[in-house]
Amino acid sequence: MVIHSPTQPRSPTAPTTADGGLVVGNYCHDVLIRDHHVTAHALGGAPSFISPVLHSLSLPFLLLSKVGSDFSYSSATTTTTLHPPIVVSTSQTTVFHAHFLSATPDTTSLPPSGHPDRILKRVGSCDPITPSDLPSNSLFLFGLAVGVAGEILPETLQSMLDLCSVVFVDAQAIIRTFDPEDGTVSLVNLNETGFFHLLPRIAFLKCSAEEAIFVDIEEARKWCCVVVTCGRHGCEVFWKDGELKVPPFAADQVDPTGAGDSFLGGFAAGIVMGLGVWDAALLGNFFGSLAVAQVGPPKLDAKLFQVVKDEMQKRKIQDFPCLERRGDWLGFRESPDQDQFYESLAATKTVVMSQIQEPDWNLVSSPKAAAEQNNSKAKLPLNYVQEEPIPSCDGKP
């Protein structure tokens, strides 16, 4: 299958694809800071984590991302090479500073202040992605709205809903707000944003356990399927008439950044490729566990995932999800042989992890070398939680 990606300059008439997706969200420069000292610079943004997942499962997609002329990773990674961003010469690349606090003696809890061990600040932002940036003459089977810095506007999401048959939205794209003075990231209630009225048209809304408070699951589940990631506890799925829990995969955590993005990539791929919700969520947990065991965007060799694709083919319930009558959708029914699918993915994970730990990959045993080789992130402390809560706009955790 052909993978379409924007080039410079991007054509406003990208070819129509019958089986592809549209991924929308900006690449970023991430700067990790501990105790006032910069520890690493990294390629950031959800697309850098989602793209490897979709590639590993041979799903074609167009990625729409904007950066400034100062972008540092144009040819540094496979993702940015295959999916080059739109360069806005009059803007800068979005920059996030992640300030980490010193580890506390109790590595299973947050610092005594009760606040998360990370303060995230958007210290620079690229231009937003507007409806005119989208290929107006193309239709897509699925869309992923995965902004991190407010780059996706309500009208842009509405256009994605017009162009894509099924749209997956990450809550961080629509409920984040940024302090006008220093860029500190906070969360606001979904019903106070310009996106709330679009809920009935969104197929799947993914959020972390902390973000779920601001989404209001009981209200959101009336209109769309809500998927809540719970870190080491797996995930939960809520829809109008039911809910389910999906178990996690054990993981030796090296760098948890991007776990939620990798989860969403796996979950969306599962739904698009015909799996039921439980199976798709398990696939999301699988990819999330691979992400935390590596430094930076995950290295996923597509050849190693052929067994996963074969298993998905056996378990598909339909060619593509038909959600017009969501209450009757087969995807919400209990999946057969759940243990068998789990065991199959666990076996694949063992193979992938053995590959990662070989000398040529050596991500787990030598994260510093891996960071230098891949322009990725340096190793973070093991007490760093997978998806950290971000304060609300009024300062409440």
Residue 378 domain-assigned (yes or no): no
Is 10 part of a structural domain of the chain?
no
Handedness of CA 382, 383, 388, 392 (dihedral sign): negative
What confidence tier does 332 reach under pLDDT thresholds 50, 70, 90? confident
What is the CA angle 11-265-310, rounded to 5?
105
Mean pLDDT of the chain: 80
CA-to-CA distance for 371 and 41, rounded, in angstroms? 9
Q: What is the sign, positive or negative, of the torsion defined by CA atoms of 38, 43, 46, 48?
A: negative
Lowest mean pLDDT segment, chosen from 52-56, 93-97, 297-301: 297-301
| Tally of structural domains, the chain | 1
Task: Give the CATH number, domain containing residue 296.
Answer: 3.40.1190.20
Confidence label for 74 from pLDDT (cuts 50, 70 and 90): confident
Angstrom distance (rounded) from CA 276 to CA 344: 16
- Least confident segment among 134-143, 311-320, 321-330, 376-385: 376-385
Question: In this structure, is residue 267 part of a structural domain?
Answer: yes
Instruction: Among 8-17, 233-242, 332-341, name the one with the lowest average pLDDT.
Output: 8-17
In a domain, 73, yes or no: yes
Say if residue 46's pLDDT is above 70: yes
Provide the residue range defining the domain that includes 249.
Answer: 17-30+44-96+128-355
371 contacts: CB under 8 Å, gap ≥ 6: 40, 42, 295, 296, 377, 378, 379
Supply the residues annotated as catalytic. 261
**Is 8 a member of any domain?**
no
Task: Determine phi and psi for 391, rounding to 5 degrees.
Answer: -60, 150
Q: Quickly state the pLDDT bin for 358 (edges 50, 70, 90).
A: low
Q: How confident is the model at residue 380 (pLDDT cuts 50, 70, 90)?
A: very low
Amino acid letter, 291 = A
> What's the rounded mean pLDDT across residues 56-68?
95
Within-domain flag for 386: no
- Asked if residue 394 has pLDDT above 90, the reply is no
In terms of pLDDT, which residue wins out, 134 or 374? 134
* Residue 376: per-residue pLDDT: 39
Q: Is 340's pLDDT higher than 60?
A: yes
On the question of pLDDT at 154 being above 90, the answer is: yes
- What pLDDT score was predicted for residue 118? 75
Domain-located, residue 372: no
pLDDT, tens digit (0-9, with 9 covering 90-100), for 227-256: 999 988 999 999 998 999 999 998 877 667
> Does any domain span residue 215?
yes
- pLDDT score recorded for residue 327: 53
- Whole-model pTM: value is 0.82
d(CA 200, CA 361): 44
Mean pLDDT lowest for which of 38-42, 223-227, 248-252, 325-329?
325-329
